[in-house]
Amino acid sequence: MIFQTMEFLEIIANITTAILLFLKPLVTPIGEWMVDWITTTTQFFKDNLGASLSFYIVVFIVLVVSAIVVNIIWPGDRPGSIFSKGIGKLEEFEDKIGISDDEDIVDEIKRCKDCGNPVGDSEICPLCGARQI
C-alpha cells in the first residue's frame, strides 16, 4: 500500500514537473514584474500609511456602508430609476400598436359579405364577384 502510494506520488511529481518546466519560463518574468510593483506599493504603504490602523479601519467602514447604500438603491434584479425611461417607451409602443389580449387576429381579415371569402383591400370578391362597399 505504501509502495503504491509512493508510486502514485512519483507519477504526480513527474506530471507536475513536466507542466512547470514548460510554463516556468513564461510565468517567471511576469512574476518578477509583479514582485517589483508589489514591493513598490507595499513600500508606499509602509512609508505613508504605516503609522496606525485608523486609515484602514475607516476604509473598511466606508466600503461596507457604501456597498450597503449602492446595492440597496441599485440591486440589479428589478428596474430601478435608471431603467424607468426604457420601460416607459416600451409601454408607449404597445399603446400605439394597440395590442389587446382579447383581440383575435383572424377577426381583423376583411371577408366577402356574401361568401365569406377573404378579400383583403379589394373592392370585388375574387370568388363570387360581389362588390364590397
Residues that bind other proteins (CB under 8 A): 9-10, 12-13, 16-17, 19-21, 23-24, 26-28, 30-35, 38-39, 41-42, 45-46, 49-50, 53, 56-57, 59-64, 66-68, 70-72, 74-79, 83
- Spatial contact of 131 and 123, defined as CB atoms under 8 Å apart: yes
CB of 55 to other proteins, least distance (A): 8
- Spatial contact of 80 and 73, defined as CB atoms under 8 Å apart: yes
For residue 128, give the DSSP letter: T
CB of 40 to other proteins, least distance (A): 11
Burial class (CB in 10 A: 0-12, 13-18, 19+), 119: buried
| Residue among 23 and 127 whose Cβ is closer to other proteins | 23
| Residue among 57 and 124 whose Cβ is closer to other proteins | 57
For residue 105, give the DSSP letter: G
| Residue among 60 and 118 whose Cβ is closer to other proteins | 60
| Residue among 75 and 98 whose Cβ is closer to other proteins | 75
CB of 92 to other proteins, least distance (A): 19
Q: How far apart (Å, rounded) are the C-alpha atoms in residues 20 and 25?
A: 9
* Residue with grid cell 363570387, as numbered in its chain: 128
CB of 113 to other proteins, least distance (A): 46
